[in-house]
Amino acid sequence: MSLAGPEDQHSTADWEKATAAVLRKTRKLGEDAPDSAVWEALTRTTLDEIAVAPIGTRDSVADLPATGVPGAAPYTRGRLAERPEIGWDIRPHLFGLEAKALNEAALMDLENGSTSLWLEVGPTLGADQLAAALEGVFIDLAPVVLDAPEDPVAAAEALAAVFADRGVEPAPGTNLAADPIAAQVRGEGAINLDLLELVAAKAEELGTLGVVVDATAIHDRGASDAQELGFSLAVGAAYLRRLTAEGRSVDDALALMEFRYAATDEQFPTIAKFRAARRLWARVAELSGAAPEAAGQRQHAVTSRPMMSKYDPWVNMLRTTIASFAAGVGGAEAVTVLPFDSTLGIPDAFGRRIARNTSSLLISESHVAKVADPAGGSYAVEKLTDDLANAAWAEFGRIEAAQTSGASGILAALEDGSLQSRIDAVVAERDSQIAHRTRPLTGVSEFPNLAETLPERPAHPNADAVRRYGAPFEDLRDEPATTPVFLATMGSIAAHTARATFASNLFAAGGISVVSAGATDGADAVLAAYESNGGASPVVCLAGADKTYAEWGADLVAKLREAGVRHVVLAGKPGDRTVSPDLVDDSAAVGVDALTFLTTTREKLA
């Protein structure tokens, strides 16, 4: 069916021609390059080495397997045939709070839009305090999901006692949430699958879910999307084996399980990840002998912890909005939006309010959850879903193939370090992209604000459990340089603004402030500005236009050297058209390894 008239239908060649014209104007495509070169110019590659084309085409999905319909195998398009009336379950994560404070926060969240609770039981809230923490909470209406890696059995028994004391049935979706493998990955104890069985038995007694496969544990260590999915399949398979070994049917074991994935601010990969996860788990269930109607994967999305920033934390609101949108569009049944200030410690009421309202606005005002699988049928999304599913299945195979003297599968892959070694390779590549700022982090590696005052929040015991993507830059910001760089701005403001701004932002990303010369009309004027500012900085950065560099850059460098400057940086690339490489010590241009550059500059300032 065609919904467009002939005048509104265009061929691939038409798109290539129009796109090539734009790229040539921005000098991203050579004048003599064919129009078809736009595909290579605009295609990006994910950390899983999946090529993401600029647009999807009908040809790209011609050979893909059928995705079915929502509510039916392979569940790519959703576990349920229709989205629930509430859209998705808005599930706040309450952590680092004692019973009274947690109870107040829980009631506030539930009274203002949240529909379930995810409770951390551990450092500050003991299992024996669960009854007090849930005082006044209608636990027969609002599902409670436990997060008790240290002692999941005690937490499960304590929650069961609360239900018994009140004489009510658990709300559908309640999960006692045993996950011993994720607990070990997070460094919270050795793997003990006996705990899984004990909690699962208690869940069957209560009529609740009992197991969670928390793939965010490996995401928080830097895993790629495919590695996160492969890990979840391997852990899920290991739990299925243990649960069925105790006499349960595969269908009954599947009914106990929920999967937790990270949602990032990379919108389309996140949508594809949740769709691919359901398809992959349906295949595992099929191979395990499950009935098709039992193979649907329950999904809980959590906005990514590593993507969050400590500096300029307000930007986290934008990151989590994109992430929660993508998770909802991707079909997650429950979504946890982490408060923007959770990187600073225990979030306050304002942070929790913004977090829950993010989902409420997407559901109630943007109506994102009105349609099941709104991305279904998109050529680009279907192709990305299939490519990611194949990459994840290959990772699953690598994990399952791991063998040690006492274990196999995921247990062996964790024991022998093979999984971590693959994750380390991804971390190294991501770190390189962040260092070169080809993967920019707003407020951290790009557009930092050295003058900002961070909100103060109480510390959380596990604050250092996650290595944020911007951690290397944040480490530099934690200890700002005590001496500024002198910015030798050459020429008028109009002539030097572009490079001066670039250099200032780059230095600020490493905790280095600058003092600017302002508008100048020659080497003597710059030198006078340098001396009027005390002439104390051993590092000077030249910032001007190519023409100005060529005219009096060499003279300026010589005079600065005479004045005692030990390290001269050029904003831009040295060469015949600017300043000879022999005259400067370093340069700052697009593509520079920012972390290396900033570390060197700080050493010279010291």
Q: What is the CA radius of gyration of the chain?
A: 28
Q: What is the pLDDT of residues 213-227, one digit of tens each?
A: 999 999 999 999 999
301 vs 304: CA distance, rounded Å:
9
Nearest to 310 by CA among 484, 511, 94, 98: 511
Task: Count CB neighbours of 441 within 10 A.
Answer: 24
> Domain boundary residue among 375, 396, 417?
396
What pLDDT does residue 459 have?
Answer: 87
What are 412's two structure tokens? 């062996």
Nearest to 572 by CA among 513, 469, 474, 489: 489
Range with lowest mean pLDDT among 8-12, 320-324, 358-362, 554-558: 8-12
CATH number of the domain enclosing 299: 3.20.20.240
Residues 185 and 280 in one domain: yes
Assign 3-class secondary structure to 294-338: HCCCCEEEEECCCCCCCCCCCHHHHHHHHHHHHHHHHCCCEEECC
pLDDT, average across residues 490-504: 95
What pLDDT does residue 383 have?
Answer: 97
Higher pLDDT, 460 or 297: 297
Backbone angles phi, psi at 540, to 5 degrees: -125, 135
Our CA dihedral for 303, 307, 309, 315, rounded to 10 degrees, sits at: -70
> Domain boundary residue among 364, 396, 428?
396
606 vs 329: CA distance, rounded Å:
50
Q: 3-state class of 389 per DSSP?
A: helix
Residues 372 and 265 in one domain: yes
Rounded to a whole number, what is the distance in angstroms from the first to the last CA of the chain? 69
pLDDT, average across residues 534-551: 91
Determine, yes or no, domain membership for 295. yes
Q: Are strands 44-45 and 51-52 parallel, antiparallel or unpaired?
A: antiparallel
What pLDDT does residue 592 have?
Answer: 95
Residues 366 and 488 in one domain: no
Above 70 in pLDDT, residue 52? yes
Residues 126 and 228 in one domain: yes
Backbone angles phi, psi at 119, to 5 degrees: -110, 130
Determine, yes or no, domain membership for 21. no
Distance of CA 302 to the CA centre of its chain: 10
Nearest to 445 by CA among 433, 458, 461, 456: 433
Above 80 in pLDDT, residue 542? yes
pLDDT, average across residues 233-254: 96
What pLDDT does residue 4 have?
Answer: 79
Determine, yes or no, domain membership for 504. yes
Residues 6+ apart with CB under 8 A from 34: 20
Ramachandran sector of residue 135 (left: φ over 0; alpha: ψ -120 to 50; beta: rest): beta
Determine, yes or no, domain membership for 63. no
pLDDT band at 480, cuts 50/70/90? very high
Q: What is the pLDDT of residues 264-303, one digit of tens each?
A: 999 999 999 999 999 999 999 999 999 999 999 999 999 9
pLDDT band at 1, cuts 50/70/90? low
pTM given for the model: 0.95
115 near 91, Cβ under 8 Å?
yes
225 near 50, Cβ under 8 Å?
no
Q: Mean pLDDT, the chain, as a whole number? A: 95
Determine, yes or no, domain membership for 11. no
pLDDT band at 90, cuts 50/70/90? very high
What are 193's two structure tokens? 């699958």
Determine, yes or no, domain membership for 348. yes
Task: Count CB neighbours of 224 within 10 A.
Answer: 27
> Domain boundary residue among 376, 396, 416?
396
What pLDDT does residue 259 have?
Answer: 98
210 vs 178: CA distance, rounded Å:
6
DSSP string, 200-211: HHHHHHHTSEEE
Place of tokens 């969050």: 308
What pLDDT does residue 464 have?
Answer: 63
Q: What is the pLDDT of residues 499-541, one digit of tens each?
A: 999 999 999 999 999 999 999 999 999 999 999 887 779 999 9
64 near 382, Cβ under 8 Å?
yes
What pLDDT does residue 9 have?
Answer: 84
Q: What is the pLDDT of residues 178-218, one digit of tens each?
A: 999 999 999 877 789 999 999 999 999 999 999 999 999 99
311 vs 477: CA distance, rounded Å:
8
216 vs 193: CA distance, rounded Å:
19
Place of tokens 């951390």: 120
Q: Which residues of 54-92 are buried (b: 16+ CB within 10 A; e: fewer)?
A: eebeeebbeeeeebbebebbbbbbbbeeebeeebbbbbb
Determine, yes or no, domain membership for 70. no
Residues 116 and 253 in one domain: yes
| Cα→Cα distances 175→109, 155, 190, 201, 486, Å | 19, 11, 22, 12, 58
Determine, yes or no, domain membership for 132. yes
Assign 3-class secondary structure to 486-500: EEEECCCHHHHHHHH
Residues 328 and 204 in one domain: yes
Backbone angles phi, psi at 268, to 5 degrees: -70, -40
What pLDDT does residue 463 have?
Answer: 62
Above 80 in pLDDT, residue 3? no
Residues 93 and 212 in one domain: yes
pLDDT band at 352, cuts 50/70/90? very high
Residues 257 and 136 in one domain: yes
Residue 386: which domain range? Answer: 89-396
Residues 598 and 503 in one domain: yes
Residues 377 and 515 in one domain: no
CATH number of the domain enclosing 588: 3.40.50.280
Residues 6+ apart with CB under 8 A from 394: 226, 230
Residues 311 and 201 in one domain: yes
- Structurally, how many domains does the chain consist of? 2
408, burial (CB in 10 Å: exposed 0-12, middle 13-18, buried 19+) = middle
Ramachandran sector of residue 311 (left: φ over 0; alpha: ψ -120 to 50; beta: rest): beta
